[in-house]
Amino acid sequence: MDFNKMIERAKNILLTPKTEWPVIAAEPASTASLYKDYLIWLAAIPAVLGFIDSTVFGYSVPFMGTIRIGVATALQGAVVSYVMTLIGVFVFSLIVNLLAPTFGGTKDPLQALKVVAYSSTAGLVIGGVATIVPWLGGLLALGAAIYGIYLLYLGLPPTMKCPPEKAVGYTVVSIIVALVIGAIFWGLIGRTLMGGGMLGGALPGMSDRRVSDDIKVDPDSPLGKLEAMGKRMEEAGKQLEAAQKSGDSKAQGDALGAVLGAALGGGGQVESLAPDRLKAFLPETLAGLPRRSLSAERNAAMGMQFSEGRASYGDGQGRELTLEITDLGSAQGVMALAGWASFESERQTETGYEKTTRQDGRIIHEEWDGTRKSGEYSIVLGERFMAKVRGDAADVGQLRQALASIDLAGLEALKGEGLAAAR
């Protein structure tokens, strides 16, 4: 097993997919080699990190604190997740192969496995790391999933020999069929497949053309945005290669930060708001409850910044609310991707519901537990800020009103702050 070769392949498919796909399509391979030299190692990343997250860090549950899963249970879950990932890749490749003639392609099970295996790199690597990222994990996973769709779109013409103008339909239909089959499978074993909200419009507004130098894509469409992301990652990849050759550890760290910034940011580094700026949006009272605690911090890692402010409110008689303001800073591009994907979903439970919608261009998420009379209401502002209130209420409407009482318009007006300084 050549780990250097595997790492090089993963780097190339993420940073320079347009030039890497023809190489992948032409190189000799077998089902066994694709699994033993690539998939079994990358599939272990989310499984192992998920195990660590559930046993060491635990899950934060509102009003219940942090819950950690026992080692035996977590290990069982990790093994099941790992095996299902490996099986899922193979099943998805069967779907891609089966649909090839429908979109003018050539059936080839090995090429189908190649395109599915390598386009899964973003989800397995970035999505795997997202499992241990405290509050941006969901956004990172979403960004990785969307970028994986883009990689699949780029890879279908060279591997499955489909006409470039049919790659969009081929990609979308393949994903739809895979999600439907997955939903049926999990339903049969008593599980509910989550995360299908993206299906309703995963790639709306796409121009039915291939992303290439001689064919243009609407820059304001999701595919156009992904193409721009790909170009940024390609440039950042060149910077990373130069830094690696120089042997300068600081330059390598900065270059890696540039790669992450290209994937997560909207085209450049962003200086997030200072803690004192966030505190101004955490009032002394909320929904008639006095403020009991206040905190704000700005964190930086690998050249990227994020800020978060939090305040708790209570009457001393059991009713409590928590208000959180988050500046995604350098990761604002992930939120933009969610917007471009028209990410919406809804799920009913025995005691309440959870749903994500878009209203007036804003992403809104709400959860409600009728038994506990508690819930959460959050809103994304300017594709950069997240404002969230959670706690006790008569209904979600009260939480919505509580959040509306703060200066949301003033916060949204700051969406461009820090951009010029960062460029």
Asked if residue 233 has pLDDT above 60, the reply is no
Give dist(CA 392, CA 193) in Å, integer.
29
- Calculated CA dihedral for residues 175, 176, 181, 184, nearest 10 degrees: 130
The pLDDT > 70 percentage for the chain reads 62
Q: Where are the domains of the chain?
A: 3-242, 275-422
Helix and strand counts by DSSP (H, E) for the chain: 17, 11
In Å, what is the CA distance from 217 to each residue of 106, 220, 227? 25, 9, 8
- Per the model's pLDDT, the better-predicted residue between 131 and 106 turns out to be 106
End-to-end C-alpha distance for the chain, whole angstroms: 41
pLDDT of residue 364: 87
Q: Distance between CA 374 and CA 332 in Å, rounded?
A: 29
Local structure of 94: helix, strand or coil: helix
pTM equals: 0.49
Per-residue pLDDT at 402: 95
Q: Report the C-alpha gap between 327 and 334 in whole angstroms.
A: 12
- For 251-292, the pLDDT digits (tens) are 665 665 555 555 554 445 677 889 999 999 999 999 999 999
> Please, which residues bridge with residue 310 across strands?
295, 324
Q: CA–CA separation, 154 vs 132, rounded Å?
A: 29
Poorest-pLDDT segment among 158-172, 205-219, 378-392:
205-219
User: Cα 136 vs. chain centroid, distance in angstroms?
Assistant: 9
Q: What is the pLDDT of residue 341?
A: 45
Q: Give 339-352 pLDDT, tens digit per residue.
A: 444 456 678 888 89
- If you average pLDDT over every residue of the chain, what do you get? 75
Query: What sign does the CA torsion over 410, 300, 128, 190 have?
Result: negative
For residue 333, which of 225, 197, 409, 231 has the smallest C-alpha distance? 225
Best CA proximity match to 367, nearest among 382, 388, 385: 388
For strands 385-392 and 374-381, give the pairing. antiparallel
Checking if the pLDDT of 216 tops 60, the result is: no
CA 1 vs. chain centroid, Å, equals: 30
Alpha-carbon span 86 to 80, nearest angstrom: 10
- Residues 12, 47 contacting (CB under 8 angstroms): no
- Residue 318 token pair: 């059991």
pLDDT in tens, 55-94: 555 555 444 444 555 556 666 666 777 778 888 888 899 8
Which residues fall within 8 angstroms of residue 165, CB to CB, at 6 or more apart? 208, 209, 210
- Bridge partner list, 391: 321, 375
